[in-house]
A and B are shown apart, each in its own frame.
Chain A
Amino acid sequence: DQQVKQNSPSLSVQEGRISILNCDYTNSMFDYFLWYKKYPAEGPTFLISISSIKDKNEDGRFTVFLNKSAKHLSLHIVPSQPGDSAVYFCAAHVQGGSEKLVFGKGTKLTVNP
């Protein structure tokens, strides 16, 4: 029972354009959503997060949008740069207890020069 879904395994965009990565979730008990970026042979690196009571959070070139009614969030990267090429994981924070993260399968982003 996959609670966090990233339905696009890969995305390719041109440098300077917008990258939009999508994520859907099924559990209404998540209180925060996070995006992690992962390069090969490295651990995931935190990128940006959003509280479930917000609908938008922005940090430089990265913006995350949350649509609670649709249980959908998206990460926008503008403008995209070749160094953004990586696997992006959507994760949901389980409030209380262990506060573990539940991850999606990831989307591999390729930004072409």
Chain B
Amino acid sequence: DTGVSQDPRHKITKRGQNVTFRCDPISEHNRLYWYRQTLGQGPEFLTYFQNEAQLEKSRLLSDRFSAERPKGSFSTLEIQRTEQGDSAMYLCASLPTTGSLGGTQYFGPGTRLLVL
């Protein structure tokens, strides 16, 4: 399977705990995105990497959130001191630098987070 993969698929945590999610993009895709989808909403952009550089962050990404892509391949998204409002589906998408006509992003299956 050469699609975007995400781990874990589901995470239940207690308020105040830290969680970390991982995304493995399609091989050789330079660009990687994180989105968050809450109930009844479409995916909302959180942050974007080109290779290992984080080039854009949404104002939705509070200082409790941090994302990394240390070697320009997989990425991690960490949420510190989780709050109930962080409960959502966290989606990762990737895109090649060239040949991506119209910005067609390829999405992973998502990580569903529930904060109790």
Contact = CB atoms under 8 A, between A and B. Distances in A.
Interface of A: 4, 6, 9, 31-32, 34, 36, 41-46, 49, 51, 89, 91, 93-94, 97-106
14 contacts: A31-B102, A34-B102, A34-B104, A41-B109, A42-B110, A46-B104, A46-B105, A89-B42, A94-B103, A98-B55, A100-B33, A100-B45, A103-B44, A106-B41
A101 B105 contact: yes
Interface of B: 4, 31, 33, 40-45, 48, 55-56, 91, 93, 95, 100-110
Contact of B102 (A36, A41, A51, A106): A51
Given A32-B103, A97-B56, A101-B105, A44 B44 contact: no
A100 B48 contact: yes
Contacts of A4: 42
Q: Is the interface of A mostly helix, strand, loop or mixed?
A: strand
A105 B108 CA distance: 19
B103 A99 contact: yes
Contacts of B4: 43
B19 to A, nearest CB: 19
A103 B43 contact: yes
B43 A89 contact: yes
A34 B33 CA distance: 16
A16 B107 CA distance: 29
A44 to B, nearest CB: 5
A62 B22 CA distance: 34
Q: Which of A9, A31, A93, A104 has the most CB of B within 10 A?
A: A93
B91 to A, nearest CB: 6
B55 A105 contact: no
Nearest to A49: B102
Contacts of B91: 43-44
Nearest to B106: A46
Given A32-B102, A44-B91, A98 B110 contact: no
Counting chain A CB atoms within 10 Å of each CB, which of B48, B55, B105 scores highest? B105
